[in-house]
Amino acid sequence: MAREQLNSASYNWNAFADRPQLASALAAKVADRLTRAIDRRGRAFLAVSGGTTPAKFFADLSAAPIAWDKVIVTLVDERFVPASSPRSNAGLVAANLLQNAAKAARFVPLYHEAAGIEDAATSDDAALRSLPWPLDVVVLGMGPDGHTASFFPDADDLPKLLDPASDRMILPVHAKSAGEPRLTLTLARIIDADFLALHIEGEDKRVAFDNAVAPGPRKPIRAVLDASPKPVEVFWAP
């Protein structure tokens, strides 16, 4: 059960006593939204983030009794590395989400071999247009610097990434703080989702979130909250 729920104009704060409770609740919410989408339009389209935080949530969601053969899964963002790399978000999704019943889902990775990340982004942008937009569910994560997806504060062309009117599906990202180059869905595609959630864990992430929504220089996660036409559902546990 949620320990605490706070509301604002841009987000709903759902706090849980521990991380297993959060993972279970978030998995149930996402499964319900995917089922609703399948009932409404015959398919569902899900985008998830990477990192280590969502592993338990992925495991719980993978066992949900939904029509996974009608679900398309893609990534919010990806490092420009092959799936065999330990830093690949696709590898994390394959190991933790695309298991159990969820093996039947169709997975659309963002990385593929290309001469460079700009070429990869152009090719991905064209390929992604064939998918059933808008997204039904997006689950974001957040870094301690307030970045989400690959919207890093020091990213080149950050305003382009955060343009809510962009017609691009995906863009390349160069940021010193990110390490290797990345591919990311644009803000415009993320905020079009029917259900948008933010999954964060730990006291440090709560402090980072509080700082991001406080008055002052706008962090990328604040840009998402401000641009979303619906309150973002924030799931947090210590």
Q: For residue range 147-194, what is the model confidence (pLDDT) as tens digits?
A: 999 999 999 999 999 999 999 999 999 999 999 999 999 999 999 999
> E strand or H helix at 52, and its extent?
none
Residue range 173-186, pLDDT digits in tens = 999 999 999 999 99
pTM, 2 dp? 0.95
Neighbours of 213 (CB within 10 A): 20
Does position 109 have pLDDT exceeding 90, yes or no? Answer: yes
Task: List alpha helices for 75-146, DSSP H.
Answer: 89-96, 117-128
pLDDT value of residue 1? 40
pLDDT for position 22 = 98
Question: Whole-angstrom Cα distance, residue 17 to residue 198?
Answer: 17
